[in-house]
Structure 1
Amino acid sequence: MHKPALPGEGSELLSTRIRIVLVETSHSGNIGAVARAMKNMGLSNLWLVSPVSFPDETSYARSSGAADVLDGARVVSSLDEALADCVMVMGTSARGRKVPWPVIPPPEAARKAHEATAGGDVALVFGRENSGLTNEELQRCHFHIHIPSNPDYSSLNLAMAVQVLCYELRMDYLRSLEEGEQRPYLGSMTAPGDEGWDVAPAPVRDVEGFFEHLEQVLVDVDFHRRDKPRQLMTRLRRLFQRAGLDQMEVNILRGILTAVQKAAGKPAAGAGESTSPAASREQEDKHV
């Protein structure tokens, strides 16, 4: 009853050619949290520019299973060294600048990053926890990325900001799979008939049989009168049709109705078509 799992590792370009660069991170736990955010989304290329403390126990504890990302992290002494062989650099920025710079939102940044990986490595640069990137560092970037957070509380934790960008990179990668291979990684599964649903949609004849059975049971228990129907069955029909029943759900509902009739001492309606409670439970066990 579940959709196929999404690809676990992502593309090689996503994993290796997009590097996450953290500048002078002061809290080693944030480095571990960033590693976790990266691995969640299939990235592994982490660069650290002059971290205050790394590696240490705190960073590994906060990584929650992403120790391999930390093990492979490159520690360098300058931003120049981290960016030297990159073909594109993007830096996160929450502040306006005196000299306007190209600013893009996270989804566009992900698209541009993926396109640029065809020519080499792309760096996404994140600044210090308390002050971000300096003007000089931001001027090293081809684009500034702005995360449109709540203006009344716009400060994001470092790992949160990395997670937002890594998520957009992951989504852009999955969309490329949809276009290239027609695989339903991003499609929803909300109703019978969607790929991954375990039981076929109920055909109209069976749903109509259920409505007839339902009406008879409501009459049997003195809840409904056919000579004064009001809009009861109309509204119940709308309710169940809005739900979009599958075949198993119709069988279960008819089994319940049969049990209600039995408890009320009434003969089962449409006995040849309805499903007994025992049969419904047996069918349910096969699918739930």
Structure 2
Amino acid sequence: MRSGLTEFEAVLAVARLGSFRAAAAEMEMSTSALSQSVASLEARLGTRLFHRTTRSVRLTEAGERFVAELAPAVAGIRDAVDRAGEEATTPSGTLRLNSSTGAARWLMLPLLIPYLERYPNVHLDLVTEERMIDIVREGFDAGFRTVDTVPGDMIAVPLGPPIRFAVVGSPAYFRAHGRPKTPADLAGHRCIRARMPAGHIYHWEFERHGEAISIDVEGQLTLGQPDLMREAARAGLGLTYLTEFNIAEDLAAGTLERVLDDWTPPFDRLCLYYPGRRHVPAALRALIDLIRETG
């Protein structure tokens, strides 16, 4: 059975005010239109809701039962509509984001913490993993990845400067084994190899003066997590190849040192990406605006 909310509100207004004319004025309708709306609902229900005379209007027994059950339902609908309208304009609710671990670490202080401070009614659910996923299928509102890995059907919002990779090792490793001067020198060094989420071994990429080199380095340790690669390098097990935002704290503290700097130019930028759709949640729109505001 199809019933319009206007008909329900008309019944409730007449029951509360005891007058079709007063109810029509409250709802900004003509008396005849409101009367017809109530009559149409009665016809579909197959029962009379009001006793009408020229002097008074009162609920029938069936009308009293109907109004008692209808009033809280309509109030709930009104509240749901109001909340939906507020959420469309006011950042609130849960924002689910997917990111690599390194990107999340890099973004936490300059972007995500200020975002949460600005929008206290937003709950941020940040899931970190190295594998690329279908964020729509797995229920995320958006993700953070490098521009070159974002699917073509997504909207990408670049943030921050271009990303650089770095070859790093511990001071103890360099004291024991020396420092490579060119990528070719890596053949004489122990390297910590990276297994990508898809399963293949990552080849370290270098470029200088237009010369591009890709090297499948050798080493006794292969890992699939940047955090583990960083820990192994700190322990002196070999050289590793990671993004700057994965090892920024170590470089600043001196627990890792960089080599082959002139062979690792900037590559792609990090970006927020999300599905191209008509209605972007207010919480996500606020994050996009903050990214653009902070550059």
Which of these two proteins has the greater Rg computed from alpha carbons?
2
TM-score (norm 1): 0.26
TM-score (norm 2): 0.26
- Asked which structure has the greater RCO (Cα within 8 Å, sep 6+), the reply is 2
The structure with more strand, counted as a fraction of residues: 2
